[in-house]
Amino acid sequence: MGVTAVIGLQWGDEGKGKVVDAFCQGADVAVRCQGGANAGHTVVVDGKRFILHLVPSGILTENVICLVGNGVVVDLEVLRGEIEEIGRAGLKTSGRLVLSTKAHVVLPIHKRVEAIQEQKRGDRKIGTTKRGIGPCYSDKCARVGIRVGDILEPSTLAEKIGSLCGTYRDLHNDQPVSSIDENLEHCLRHSDMVKEIAGDAGSLLRRSVSDGKEIILEGSQGFLLDVDHGTYPYVTSSSTGIHGLANGAGLAPTEIGRIVGVAKAYTTRVGAGPLPTLMEEPFQTEVRERGKEYGATTGRPRRCGWLDLSAIRYACALNGVTSLAVTKLDTLSGLEELKLCEGYDYGGNFVNAFAGDLHILKDCTPRYVAHPTWGEIGNLTDSKDLPVAASRYVERMLEAAACRLELISVGPSREQLIRVGR
């Protein structure tokens, strides 16, 4: 019993949804802690594919209570759609979902402002998911944002939205942004849903911890997209590591007993920004098609790169990762050649830690080592049956992560999982 955090170690889409789903079997509470509808977490249950953007993946497991924490930025329209979709699939959300009153609301104005900002960036576009994430977090830090709790107080909501819209009117006087009415109407349209699910998610969570419940914190994005430690400015606007999870859930970091880092067996990236280990053709196309590497939120093709051990080393060290979950090992089956990046040549030296600073990273050249390939593994359930080359590959990942192995995922379905033990 205790609190487990699940975090992505690369540029997102590592397969966190599937790993969280695996941990939720037997759990009591699942929590989304940061990010917003920029996340797309896929879980395949009995052949049905669910893509969750805001609701914790724990909703797919009966009796797990799901919390959307204070650190999340919430698109109410997306949330409503997701609740309806889950209901259509025959799963109950009523009484199982609590939205923190402290979470911030993504408004129509945030999406509009983001579009303007991206357009103004010209060829330095971030390639965001267009979900209004950056502007919403900016307003939170500027202390002018709208929180879920504000929607419960309609008498002052109009004034708050008015002052928020006013700041943008002054900033973007050359562009039409979004009216007070539009943003107010958006909030009021969803106020029935908010009334039903809003609550003190943090207190509920802390009580669950005291009661000895099994709790899963579901990270979103990946550590290389962290606003401080990622490839800034080509990052998201939240802290995607363990610190962001604790804070965004409303929990003392010392309560987190197990920190599971999720690493894909290769690297992918969607959106702009460096991917130093980008695969050459035909490998990139082959891996993208085999691994179905298209964004779960935007459908954009993901760039594919060789596994970067220095990135795993960096992310595990900064997050105190205690165990590793390796995903998509099956996608590399049957590749004609395989190589992994052990570190970088930089300024005449070999460095084995990833540089989370673009002015250094731009002068880093990946140093690769060839690795033997292996055949199909999608139906394996015991690590002892893995081909030697695949086992050795996972060992290389563990050496970099400097922790024990917990899971190996060998396919998208719930069952395609090798549990290595706790």
Residues 296-315 that bind ligand GDP (CB under 6 A): 296
DSSP annotation string for 371-382? -------TT---
To ligand GDP, the closest distance from the beta carbon of 16 in angstroms equals 4
- Concatenating the DSSP letter of every residue in 222-239 gives -GGG-TTTSSTTSS-SS-
Q: 330 touches which of Mg ion, ligand IMO, ligand GDP, none (CB within 5 to 8 A by kind)? A: ligand GDP
State the pairing for strand pair 256-264/323-327. Answer: parallel
Burial of 188 (0-12, 13-18, 19+ CB in 10 A): middle
Considering only 292, 300, 362, 392, the residue that binds ligand GDP (CB under 6 A) is 292
Q: How far is CA 320 from the centre of its chain?
A: 18
In order of 25, 101, 136, the CA distances from 69 in angstroms are: 21, 9, 15
What element of type H or E holds 339?
strand 339-346
Shortest distance in whole angstroms from residue 246 CB to ligand GDP: 19
Residue ranges that bind ligand IMO, judged by CB under 6 A: 8, 11-13, 38-41, 126-129, 131, 133-134, 220-222, 225, 236-237, 270-271, 296
Name the minimum Å distance from CB 216 to ligand GDP.
Answer: 13
Long-range contacts of 90-96 (CB under 8 A, 24+ apart): 91/59, 91/60, 93/55, 93/59, 93/66, 94/196, 96/59, 96/63, 96/64, 96/65, 96/66
Tally of CB atoms within 10 A around 394: 20
13 given a catalytic annotation: yes
Binding mask 393-412 for ligand GDP (x = CB under 6 A): ----------------xxxx
Residue with Cβ nearer ligand GDP (44 or 113): 44
Candidates 5, 7, 10, 14; binder of ligand GDP (CB under 6 A) is 14
- Rule CB under 6 A: say whether 15 interacts with ligand GDP: yes
> Could you tell me the two tokens for 321?
């990762």
Between 73 and 407, CB nearer to ligand IMO? 73
Tell me if 53 contacts ligand GDP by CB under 6 A.
no
Q: Which is nearer to ligand IMO, 41 or 371 (CB)?
A: 41
SS3 333: coil
- 45: helix, strand or coil: strand
Cα–Cα distance for residue pair 282/257, rounded to 1 Å:
42
| Beta strands 97-100; 65-68: pairing state | parallel
Closest approach, Cβ 296 to ligand IMO, in A, equals 6
CB of 220 to ligand IMO, least distance (A): 4
41, 104, 186, 190: which is the annotated catalytic residue?
41
Task: Answer yes or no whether residue 276 interacts with ligand GDP by CB under 6 A.
Answer: no
The structure tokens listed for 359 are 């002015």
Partner that binds at residue 270, options Mg ion, ligand GDP, ligand IMO, none, CB closer than 5 to 8 Å by kind:
ligand IMO
Nearer to Mg ion, 323 or 327 (CB): 327
Asked if residue 288 binds ligand GDP (CB under 6 A), the reply is: no
83 binds ligand GDP (CB under 6 A): no
> Which residues are the active-site residues?
13, 41
Residues that bind ligand GDP (CB under 6 A): 8, 12-18, 40-42, 44, 291-292, 296, 327-328, 330-331, 409-412
